[in-house]
Structure 1
Amino acid sequence: MTMISTLLSSPLGMILIESDARQIHRISIAAPGMAAIPDPGTGTPLAAETVAQLQAYFDGRRDRFDLPLAPAATVRGEALRRAIVGIPAGETRSYGEVARLAASSPRAVGQACARNPFPIVVPCHRVLGTGGAIGHYSAGDGVATKRWLLEHERRGGLL
């Protein structure tokens, strides 16, 4: 299948959605100063739906997503993804709490978050270190993006 790239302008900067006709393969939040992405394409109905759901998130009208995501590479990866998606908007969980839910380890949760190809949709920004330490974030402007997403959700930016 042909991959199509679609751009969304968001409060966090440009978001690149990579999809084919059946599933989303990657969502990337551009880091500040990142060069413009050439020829983003015209999109697909699925990309348009992804844009609509992300816009609803930023507008405070959606806190969960219903999109066909490319499957994780492993069964354990799928279990970790489900555990992360299960964290309600406006709430957080520690790496250890998510690990217990997924019958895994905190290190594996951290690795899954670092490699998450679907930021916001698979909300790894809701995973914190022990005692509420902000930890790391691999999308956009890193920790600043993570803090923005958490504040957006906590201040009633959702629903």
Structure 2
Amino acid sequence: MTESLAQLTLDSPVGPMTVTARQGAICALRFAAGGPRHSDDPVLQESARQISGYFARQLKDFDLPLDLRGSNHNLAVWHEMLTIPYGETLTYGDIAARIGSNPRVVGMACGANPIPLIVPCHRVIGKDGSLVGFSGGDGKKTKARLLDHEAPALPLLSGLMTEL
């Protein structure tokens, strides 16, 4: 049985994003253009509304159905990332301690996150406060911009935007 996918490309302050839905749930978000700019799919329309609200600072918590598929470890990491509040961060080590893993493997799961932004891997940082990496958009620059958007006065970001 073939699953049908629907896509929608949105413009955002960090560049175009393409959101993909499968059977009424978001299954992917890429920091790139690649889908149509209009969709009749209700979950894609709602994702566009919520992402716009996020960038307008009117929405802090996404409330979208998600279709996350991966290993048990990756799912545990992604579900833990969903608990990180807007404007706050956890380290890879924090998440590792919570799920009984190790920071490097948590980092690999973050890199495999199919729905960045909505599953907020940008809120996961190195133990010394460094941005370490980000698989979306322009990498660490996009991560810094997202964190700055959420908490412009966050001490760990002072100077990072000019450093990047």
Equivalent residue, structure 2, for 1:27: 29
What TM-score, normalized by structure 2, do the two folds share?
0.85
Equivalent residue, structure 2, for 1:132: 129
AA in 2 matched with 1:109: V
- Distance in 1 (CA, whole Å) between partners of 2:120 and 2:107 is 13
User: Identity across aligned pairs (percent)?
Assistant: 36
Unaligned 5+ segments in structure 1 are 31-35
Question: Which of the residues 48, 58, 74 maps onto 1:51?
Answer: 48
Q: Is the 8 A contact 1:21 1:44 kept in 2?
A: no
Equivalent residue, structure 1, for 2:76: 79
Give CA deviations for 1:69-94 in whole Å, capped at 9, x if unaligned.
11232222221111111111111111
Structure 1 residues 151 and 105: alpha-carbon distance in aligned structure 2, compared to 1, 3 A threshold: same
Q: Secondary structure at the match of 2:137?
A: coil
Equivalent residue, structure 2, for 1:6: 8
Structure 1 residues 39 and 134: alpha-carbon distance in aligned structure 2, compared to 1, 3 A threshold: closer
AA in 2 matched with 1:50: S
- Distance in 2 (CA, whole Å) between partners of 1:63 and 1:78 is 22
AA in 2 matched with 1:2: S
What TM-score, normalized by structure 1, do the two folds share?
0.87
Q: Does 1:68 align with 2:65?
A: yes
Q: Secondary structure at the match of 2:94?
A: helix
| 1:102-141 paired onto structure 2 within 5 Å | 102-141=99-138
Q: Is the 8 A contact 1:4 1:43 kept in 2?
A: no
After TM superposition, the runs of 4+ consecutive aligned structure 1 residues lying more than 3 A away are 38-41
- Distance in 1 (CA, whole Å) between partners of 2:19 and 2:146 is 18
- CA shift, 1:38, in A, is 6.0
Structure 1 residues 40 and 20: alpha-carbon distance in aligned structure 2, compared to 1, 3 A threshold: farther
Give CA deviations for 1:36-79 in whole Å, capped at 9, x if unaligned.
53655624001001111111110111111111111232222221
Q: Is the 8 A contact 1:29 1:139 kept in 2?
A: yes
Equivalent residue, structure 1, for 2:141: 144
Question: Which of the residues 16, 22, 46 maps onto 2:18?
Answer: 16
Task: Name the count of aligned residue pairs.
Answer: 151
AA in 1 matched with 2:86: A
Equivalent residue, structure 2, for 1:93: 90
